[in-house]
Structure 1
Amino acid sequence: MDDDPIVVVGAGLAGLAAAVRLAAAGRAVRVVEARDEPGGCCGTARVGPYRFDTGPSVLTMPEVLAEILGAAGEDLRTRLPLRRLDPYYRIAYHDGTHLDVVEGEDAMVGRVAALCGPAEAERYRRFRRHLGEMFEAAWPVFINADTTRLRSLARPVALLRLARMGGFRRLDRLARSHLTDDRLVRAHTFQSLYVGLPPRRALGVYAVIAHMDTVGGVYFPEHGGMHAIPRALADVAEKHGARFRYGTRVERVEADSDGVRGVRLEGGERLPARHVVVTCDLPRALDGMLPPGAADWRTRDPRHSPSCLVMHFGLDRPPPGRAHHTLHLGREWHRTFAALEAGRPQPDPSLLVTRPAADTTAAPPGHVTLSALEPAPNLRGTVDWERRGAELQDRLLERLNALGYGDLSGAPRLVLDPPAWERLGHSAGTPFALDHRFTQTAWFRPTGAPRRVPGLHLAGMFTAPGVGVPPVLISGRLAAERVLESAR
């Protein structure tokens, strides 16, 4: 076993998952984080008395968190109590109808029947079960697997099963082969935005995301909002001996012909290490931090996901009758996706509005926070954000007012747009990393184990399995397991 500590660069979810796994295995771990607290993309910010979660607002597959904490002897229910949301989402359509996505097959079939009729409800029941079968086939091959190794994909039976179920068709066509009501199709294909692609271009296998949040459920920490997740992971890692250095930047990962030798911090201090797990923005890390051998053909022409415009508000009273998550789907479905692909603002954007009423840490008594997310082009698009940023913010305010949230123009607020995301360290001004086109999926995504730099391990959104809270946590766990395997 190597005597030098393992250095983890970045205390986001991937870095924390790696640190917990490694520390629980008895390894000496140092986590170096540029910010003053853990969280990374799953961050937090304050405006006056209001606290906002500035990263993901949707938590699915808590089993992944439970597994990581369980490796350290911790129980998720006591370390990080979660609340299952009811409904998981409210999907509001432009025609004034809405669909609440709720727990339980029969209950959900009833909601679909009330909206779309009994015949469509039966089609939905069959589609729901189809999604479950796809998830069972895809989970061990594409999501919970180390696709850094090509042999991990050599599962012909599983791949053939996925192909027969439509996993390699386009997502939109897959949904429409089962469902006929356009509202229901949209409810099960909007998730393609999570992987940076329109439904007509995303692979059918990404229907598993619809399974994860419409069947598996959406959760929220009972205390502290989404930022409670990295806080809990950091606490567990420290409990098992991991040491954290906050407010410290890594300038360079040092390596020679035999592999990693350590990291050089800004200011010149050197931390020796034979294994380094890097979890920060990969294109930026490749621009000077990582050894030249870390780059390969997968990193030559990265295609980034679209970005988003997010406005966080502090409100002195709750808006009436709102779910925790409400998706307001626009009328111009296909045109909005086409505009986003072309690098232009969507003409009729769909919005995700989050009102975390259960988070008592977010606002003073009687007050609440509200967040509105609008998909937007990243900085590789055609938008002059310096000129049009204020205009797009005003448009979003008008849309929220029209949707019944009231005039929020005078409310305390925090705005995150593509230039702001870039200032926070996200290349191309997007917090969603690379999109998940076929040539950036599984083994084709940037590798988590660069062959030419032994001891260097990559994790986070840029590597497989990809974007989203469960995949990022899995990437950190997989990196830790590669370290432990190599040290045997």
Structure 2
Amino acid sequence: MSGTGGIVVIGAGLGGLAAAMRLAGAGRDVTVVEARDVPGGCCGTASLDGYRFDTGPSVLTMPEVLADAFAAAGEDMESRLPLRRLDPYYRMRYHDGTHLDVVPGEDAMIEQVRALCGAAEADRYRRFRARLGELFAAEWPAFIDRDMTRLRHLVRPLVLARLAALGGFRRLDGLVRAHLTDDRLVRAHTFQALYVGLSPQRALGIYAVIAHMDTVGGVFFPRHGGMHAIPQAMAAAAEKAGARIRYGTRALKLETGPHGVSAVLLDTGERLPARHVVVACDLPGAHDGLLPKAAGDWRLRRPRHSPSCVVLHVGLDRRLGGQAHHTLHFGREWRSTFSALAAGRPQPDPSLLVTYPATDTAAAPAGHATLTVLEPAPNLHGGADWDRLAPKLEDRLLARMAELGYGDLTGRPRLRFDPPAWARLGHSAGTPFALDHRFSQTAWFRPAGAARRVPGLHFAGMHTAPGVGVPPVLISGRLAAERILESPR
């Protein structure tokens, strides 16, 4: 093959597809290479005995970020990927038998808090909800929706002062407890720290914006096809805009020349000339052979990975009446569970996220349903013997589900994803949550979005800024595309 080449995107996950949609929509020559046979990356799918499971994220917030990607490709998201707002967003079940439904609408949510916690706490919650909105308004445009891997974007004194005044640089647990006194309500607004790989006692208050996105902005779900419908629709939109997607094709090596990126070598023996490359796969893994040494980033010298999880996907022979789409079952313990994870041990009394996508009727035979339960777990750096530990945790999970009223699931079709399984899928340290978001791995301190010493090499996905989660990953793809569209190369 000859010529100077176009743009090669490595990885058809949400970040890579978001970049490809925007670049193809701008008329650029784009080829996406994906090692698997379907799009999605972390947002994957699996089937067993007539059941179909979403194997990636189950929580979709900020749908306008997704809609923006479709608009960049000349598509209307609602026409290709209609979404529904969940109600409730979550059901929080506590060890004392009480529960809290997180519902749409400020007044309705305040009434939920009043019924559970009393009038005084409801008033405190109203003020706290307003503070979450202020934090979000200050943080989203200045940090999350901006290329923070460029140092000049970090130095914004007025914004930093505003975030400090709002408590953004306190610890998350302290920030929330300064406003709320009922421990059940505190847990409902701090468990999101696990999304960024930290305990509420270690995460910065700026991550309260995740609670805002979850509990105020709302949680959504595709009307058809489950969460995997998202990358399928994105891939279709990218191809319609002109991008070529090659499935079952692995990128082996990035070639460079005197002026930066020059080509990508594939496992088919082909050489794809390229002026720009977007690496949207596991970044530490990419540095182990795919990328040249010149692409090295000092921020990855001592990467700190998030904890992992054990996930069971179960095929039910019945449907569950009154079950919420997302249910959080909080354990009795709280601080000690995070301490165990930090020490590389299983949580002694884990809180569980149960997902029951009742509206995705095509995922199971008629009258049946699917159920997914997630338990946080240490990653592979914890040193556990997972050949012995994984079956024990699975048995404990099944027993806990029976205690919670889900019945005996031991004989039902099920799939298990644990840290070794995540590692086999290409996730460094056996965690699908990438690097954690401690201060030294946040914003400019997170791996850069472009290789300084390799012109034309860009990055998207969880390992670069803004970070972990569906909206941040989509934004990372947009930022990579914008850098390319601004480039003189």
TM value normalised by structure 2: 0.99
Match of 2:458 in 1: 457
Match of 1:142 in 2: 143
Q: Is contact 1:82–1:221 with CA below 8 Å preserved after alignment?
A: yes
Partners of 2:451 and 2:72 lie apart in 1 by: 26
Moved more, 313-322 or 80-89: 313-322
Q: CA deviation at 1:3?
A: 5.5
Match of 1:214 in 2: 215
Partners of 1:326 and 1:257 lie apart in 2 by: 54
Q: Is contact 1:12–1:38 with CA below 8 Å preserved after alignment?
A: yes
Partners of 1:228 and 1:155 lie apart in 2 by: 38
Partners of 1:275 and 1:73 lie apart in 2 by: 22
Partners of 2:139 and 2:215 lie apart in 1 by: 17
Alignment of 1:17-32 (within 5 A): 17-32=18-33
Q: CA deviation at 1:191?
A: 0.1
Moved more, 141-150 or 273-282: 141-150
Partners of 1:115 and 1:390 lie apart in 2 by: 37
Q: Is contact 2:4–2:262 with CA below 8 Å preserved after alignment?
A: no
Partners of 1:111 and 1:216 lie apart in 2 by: 17
Structure 1 counterpart of 2:243, one-letter code: A
Match of 1:342 in 2: 343
Q: CA deviation at 1:58?
A: 0.2
In the TM superposition, what whole-angstrom CA distance separates every residue of 1:136-190 from its partner, at most 9, and x where no partner exists?
Answer: 1010122100012111112211111000000000000000000000110100000
Match of 1:227 in 2: 228
Partners of 1:341 and 1:22 lie apart in 2 by: 40
- The reply to whether residue 353 of structure 1 matches residue 354 of structure 2 is yes
Partners of 1:144 and 1:44 lie apart in 2 by: 28
Partners of 2:73 and 2:276 lie apart in 1 by: 21
SS in structure 1 of the partner of residue 289 of structure 2: helix
Q: Is contact 2:74–2:241 with CA below 8 Å preserved after alignment?
A: no
Q: CA deviation at 1:70?
A: 1.1
Q: Is contact 1:330–1:350 with CA below 8 Å preserved after alignment?
A: yes
Structure 1 counterpart of 2:127, one-letter code: R
Match of 2:120 in 1: 119
Match of 2:310 in 1: 309
C-alpha RMSD of the superposition: 0.9
Structure 2 counterpart of 1:5, one-letter code: G
Q: 1:487 to 1:79 in 2, by over 3 A?
A: farther
Partners of 1:365 and 1:476 lie apart in 2 by: 38
Partners of 1:3 and 1:179 lie apart in 2 by: 59
Partners of 2:241 and 2:79 lie apart in 1 by: 17
SS in structure 1 of the partner of residue 363 of structure 2: coil
SS in structure 1 of the partner of residue 361 of structure 2: coil
Q: CA deviation at 1:297?
A: 1.2
| Aligned residue pairs, count | 487
Q: Is contact 2:4–2:273 with CA below 8 Å preserved after alignment?
A: no
In the TM superposition, what whole-angstrom CA distance separates every residue of 1:402-435 from its partner, at most 9, and x where no partner exists?
Answer: 0000000000001100000000000100000000
Query: 5+ residue gaps in structure 2?
Result: none
Alignment of 1:400-479 (within 5 A): 400-479=401-480
Q: Is contact 2:249–2:268 with CA below 8 Å preserved after alignment?
A: no
Q: CA deviation at 1:320?
A: 3.1
SS in structure 2 of the partner of residue 215 of structure 1: helix
Q: Is contact 2:168–2:206 with CA below 8 Å preserved after alignment?
A: yes
Q: Is contact 2:255–2:264 with CA below 8 Å preserved after alignment?
A: yes
Q: CA deviation at 1:201?
A: 0.1
Partners of 1:329 and 1:487 lie apart in 2 by: 52
Q: Is contact 2:15–2:280 with CA below 8 Å preserved after alignment?
A: yes
SS in structure 2 of the partner of residue 288 of structure 1: coil
Match of 1:57 in 2: 58
Alignment of 1:5-84 (within 5 A): 5-84=6-85
Partners of 1:225 and 1:10 lie apart in 2 by: 21
SS in structure 2 of the partner of residue 274 of structure 1: strand
Q: CA deviation at 1:12?
A: 0.3
Structure 2 counterpart of 1:135, one-letter code: F
Structure 2 counterpart of 1:403, one-letter code: L
Q: CA deviation at 1:318?
A: 1.5
Q: CA deviation at 1:319?
A: 2.6
In the TM superposition, what whole-angstrom CA distance separates every residue of 1:323-349 from its partner, at most 9, and x where no partner exists?
Answer: 000000111101100000000000000
Structure 2 counterpart of 1:356, one-letter code: P
- The reply to whether residue 243 of structure 1 matches residue 233 of structure 2 is no
Structure 2 counterpart of 1:211, one-letter code: H
Match of 1:152 in 2: 153
Structure 1 counterpart of 2:137, one-letter code: E
Partners of 2:75 and 2:393 lie apart in 1 by: 45
Match of 1:390 in 2: 391
Partners of 1:68 and 1:112 lie apart in 2 by: 36
Match of 2:163 in 1: 162
Q: Is contact 1:345–1:383 with CA below 8 Å preserved after alignment?
A: no
Match of 1:259 in 2: 260
Moved more, 453-462 or 312-321: 312-321
SS in structure 2 of the partner of residue 69 of structure 1: helix
Q: CA deviation at 1:268?
A: 2.4
Q: Is contact 1:264–1:270 with CA below 8 Å preserved after alignment?
A: yes
- The reply to whether residue 484 of structure 1 matches residue 485 of structure 2 is yes
Which aligned segments of 4 or more residues in structure 1 are displaced greater than 6 angstroms? none
Partners of 1:267 and 1:8 lie apart in 2 by: 16
Query: 5+ residue gaps in structure 1?
Result: none
Structure 2 counterpart of 1:262, one-letter code: A
Structure 1 counterpart of 2:395, one-letter code: D
Partners of 1:427 and 1:449 lie apart in 2 by: 20
Match of 1:281 in 2: 282
Q: CA deviation at 1:76?
A: 1.7
Q: CA deviation at 1:382?
A: 3.1
Structure 1 counterpart of 2:203, one-letter code: A
Identity %: 74
Partners of 1:3 and 1:302 lie apart in 2 by: 35
Partners of 2:448 and 2:294 lie apart in 1 by: 12
Match of 1:130 in 2: 131
